[in-house]
Amino acid sequence: MNFEQRAEGDNLKTIFFEAMDIATIPQQSWFIAEAAARGDRDALARFWLAAPEDILESLWNSPLGEATRALVQQLHSQFPFTPDQLRFRDALSARLQQGLDQPAVVQLLLAAFLYSPAGQFRIASAERWLPGWLLPHYQALYETSVPNGSLSAPAPSAVSQPVNDGPVPTPDFGPFPQTLQELIGNRIQLNRMLGLANLYYIDPEDQEILQELVLLRQQFAAAIERCSEADLERLWATDLGDRYWAMVRSGVQKEPMSPEDELLKQRAVQRLSPAQGGGFHAPGATNAFLVAMLFYVPGTMKVDDAEQKLPAWLLGGYQDVFAQSIATQV
């Protein structure tokens, strides 16, 4: 679904109810104190998506904002979100991927906060995108270690000043899975992959994001190499496939490569080259091609007779990303 193709009369509240698959007619009244006590983040998300732009700051500095911040602080990496909530979070993420300069982006972000634990959400160049009244709270929630329950409203003088009390602590995501089978069950790493790819696409000048992304790509490519070729189609039908294509489309391939990355790339090329004992019909060729697309800039690699050489489940992605780029350059 392309959110940009919606009629202008559609609003964020409608998007929320479609994602959550809940009727738009309220079933009962609700109170902010009860919502906070019950952990009813869905009610608050509905409110933020429908909130008027011109009073967002006042609302955020009211009990509504306090309740939202309290619920965000309750989140952790293993928080038991419902399937509907995970689908809603993915819908918000898809909308935010269209850019942080779009209308109603602050409402989208406030709703996204309610489903985003610290360490799994980050806005590159937040000082550029967030209004002054929201920036210190975002930094306190996502860029500093804050004990549960200790977040308070910033002093007025701090509203226009970024928090700068030292280096931002690095979240502990745990070790990257050694196998793709382990990876598809690790939501933290899957979300991290998607987040880094999208953040780099939005702001490729952010060196911290770049360094983290290229290391993750290296670990991901090594896991692809180790995977049984017979399992790849099944694995790419999961969220793993979406994360892979997000990384391929991010443009990170244009960055200078480390010796380790060059080795991974050359090993893939060798396995695909008939002159070096490989080829597209050799064992492990699909693994090698998946790795190659992580390191070749779209438009610089072409497969002749791709319809005969690539498996059907991989062909469409290759044509969308690489073949389209080649056609554009011709």
Look up residue 57 and give its two tokens: 């700051």
Longest dimension (CA), the chain: 71
Query: Who has greater pLDDT, 165 or 39?
Result: 39
Q: Give 218-270 pLDDT, tens digit per residue.
A: 999 999 999 999 999 999 999 899 899 989 988 999 999 999 999 999 999 99
> pLDDT of 54-111, one tens digit each?
899 988 988 888 888 888 888 887 888 888 888 888 888 878 877 788 888 899 999 9
Question: Which tokens hold the place of 239?
Answer: 């969220």
Alpha-carbon distance of 302 to 284, in angstroms, equals 19
Q: Does residue 165 lie in a domain region?
A: no
User: Which of 148, 149, 145, 138 has the alpha carbon at shortest distance from 165?
Assistant: 145
This prediction's pTM: 0.52
Residue at 267: amino acid letter? R
Could you tell me the residue range of the domain that residue 7 belongs to?
A: 3-158
| 171 inside domain | no
Q: Do 260 and 197 share a structural domain?
A: yes
The overall average pLDDT reported for the chain is 79
Average pLDDT rounded to a whole number, residues 200-219: 89
* pLDDT score of 199 more than 90: no
Domain end (from 158, 188, 210):
158
For residues 48 and 57, give the distance between their C-alpha atoms in angstroms, rounded to a whole number.
Answer: 11
Say yes or no: 25 and 113 in one domain: yes
Sorting pLDDT into bands at 50, 70 and 90, what band is 160?
Answer: very low
4-45 per-position pLDDT tens digit: 333 333 444 444 444 444 334 455 666 777 766 777 888 888
The pLDDT value given to residue 5: 34
Domain count, the chain: 2
Question: Do residue 186 and residue 95 come from a single domain?
Answer: no
Report the C-alpha dihedral over residues 136, 127, 71, 243, rounded to 10 degrees: -160
pLDDT at res. 53: 85
Please indicate, yes or no, whether residues 8 and 123 belong to a single structural domain of this protein.
Answer: yes
Do both 299 and 269 map to the same domain? yes
Instruction: Please list, residue by residue across 179-212, b when 16 or more beta carbons sit within 10 angstroms of its beta carbon and e when fewer do.
Output: ebeebbebebbbbbbbbbbbbbbbbbebeebbeb
- Residue 307 covered by a domain: yes
Residue 91 located in a structural domain = yes
In this structure, the answer to whether residues 186 and 99 fall within a common structural domain is no
pLDDT tens per residue across span 111-158: 999 998 887 888 888 888 899 999 989 988 888 643 333 333 333 322
Geometric angle at alpha carbon 171, from 169 and 173, rounded to 5°: 160
Q: Which residues contact 42 (CB under 8 A, 6 or more apart)?
A: 20, 85
Residues 123 and 216 occupy one common structural domain: no
Residue carrying structure tokens 């360094």: 211
Are residues 142 and 185 both part of a single domain? no
Dig out the tokens for 126 from the structure: 């937040």
N-terminal to C-terminal alpha carbon distance within the chain: 30
Q: Are 51 and 59 a contacting pair, CB within 8 Å?
A: yes
On whether both 187 and 310 belong to a single domain, the answer is: yes
Query: Does any domain span residue 53?
Result: yes
Do 9 and 154 reside in the same domain of the chain? yes
Assigned domain for 296 exists: yes
CB neighbours of 198 closer than 8 A, spacing ≥ 6? 93, 97, 246, 250
In sequence order, which residues have a C-beta less than 8 Å from that of residue 229 and are 6 or more positions away?
283, 284, 285, 286, 287
Neighbour tally for 128: CB within 10 Å: 11
What distance in Å separates the CA atoms of residue 15 and residue 46, rounded to the nearest whole number?
A: 10
| pLDDT of residue 313 exceeding 80 | yes
122 lies in the same domain as 186: no
- Comparing 324 with 73, the larger pLDDT belongs to 73
Judge whether 170 lies within some domain.
no
* 195 shares a domain with 142: no
Instruction: Compute, in degrees rounded to 10, the torsion defined by CA atoms 78, 51, 87, 18.
Output: 160
Domain assignment of residue 230, yes or no: yes
Q: Is the predicted pLDDT of residue 209 greater than 50, yes or no?
A: yes
Going by pLDDT thresholds of 50, 70 and 90, the confidence category of residue 173 is: low
User: What HEC string does 2-32 produce?
Assistant: CHHHCCCCCCHHHHHHHHHCCCCCCCCCCCH
